[in-house]
Amino acid sequence: MPELPEVEAQRRTIEAATLGKQVTLLVATEQGGGPRDGEFDDKIVGEGVTPPELAAALQDKWVLAVKRRGKQLWVELSATRGGACCGCLLLHFGMTGAVVIKGRDAPLYKKFSIDMSSWPPRFTKLELVFGDTSLAYTDPRRFGRILLRGPSPSDVPPLSELAADPLTDPLPLANFAAALRRKSAPIKAALLDQGFAFCGVGNWVADEVLYQAGVLPSAPCNRLSDAQIERTHAQVLAVCNVACAAGADASAFPPGWLFHHRWQNQTSGSMDSPLGRIHFDTVGGRTTAFVPAKQKAAEGEPPPKEAKASKKASATSKRRSSEIQGDEPTEAEAKPKAGRAAKRGKKVVAKELKTAVPATEATEATEAKPKRRRGTKQAEELKLERGAEPATARRSRVRSG
């Protein structure tokens, strides 16, 4: 998923291409030959905005500014050249969203690429033309959003719900420390919370920050030392600034960064690297890469024991490789699979539920079984005394006959 550095690079690209220009044409139906070609994608264009409403908000408008907060980007528009802002176009890139400019290189992402061999590119959801400049918003996995806002977008969600931006308005160390002291969640989960302390920090940025700070991702916030908190705060600012200065170009990132070694499609287990043995686990609901030999849960504690990668973990990681960077599952992943796999899943769930029943419930379940009526044994004995054939003998005789 595009994180703060990638979104900032997008902001600068859009600003350089469109600032001071007028929207002369827009196409709000999908282009590029995707499965929804020619259709208006009302999932991407959110909140029930219709094609006429989108056209009215954008057509003939002038670009006043292109701004960003965290992973959210918006374009301020004016009805006249150099006039007051009359509304904003808000863009969120989700998992695979991006803005591309015709005739220019597409942004480089670690987990997906955009085919620029034809225009507009495949999965184009919205195309804006500014005279001789064409801009396209593409999103194959459809987790991104295009929203319309008024002249003050920061006053309403989603912008109003965001915490401080590490690049434009960093949270002071004292405020960061005070917030962590009140939180018992893992430090990585806190960094990923866009409304907690910083916005814009995603999965790879959080892993890099904690690696550079020497803090274990699973460390509870309220157990970190003052030194660990200070290093974490400093690295949030440093990693974001360095990555943005490099234009989110991974090849220009410092060679000692964990970033260069974390993309191994693993969700568990471990692997060797020049930085030491990198472990993979799930923290805060996200696949997490860390180096136990260099990252600690609390100041002065020994690092966790090194673990060897298992073949099973490696096989599992290949099946779940998309989780390395993704915030949300794909639509296919979100739906239960049909067929034998689903049936096996039901059996596993049923088995887990059976083993998870508390002792009291198990006792109640046992007691709930129908019991043999009292006197049944005595009745059989009475029949034998009277010379009657017992039931078991009758059944046996019928089968043998």
Known catalytic residues are 2-3, 71
Candidates 237, 290, 287; CA nearest to 111 is 287
**Quick one: how far is CA 202 from the chain centroid?**
8
Dmax (CA) for the chain in angstroms is: 112
Rounded Cα distance between 232 and 170, Å, is 13
Which whole-number Å values give the CA distances from 125 to 21, 135, 165, 199, in the listed order? 21, 11, 28, 26
- The pair phi, psi for residue 227, each rounded to 5°, is -65, -40
Preceding peptide of 336 cis, ω within 30°: no
33, 123 contact by CB (below 8 A) = no
- Using alpha carbons, select from 352, 280, 268, 348 the residue that is nearest to residue 315: 268
- Residue 198 · residue 35 · CB < 8 Å: no
Beta pairing partners, 378: none
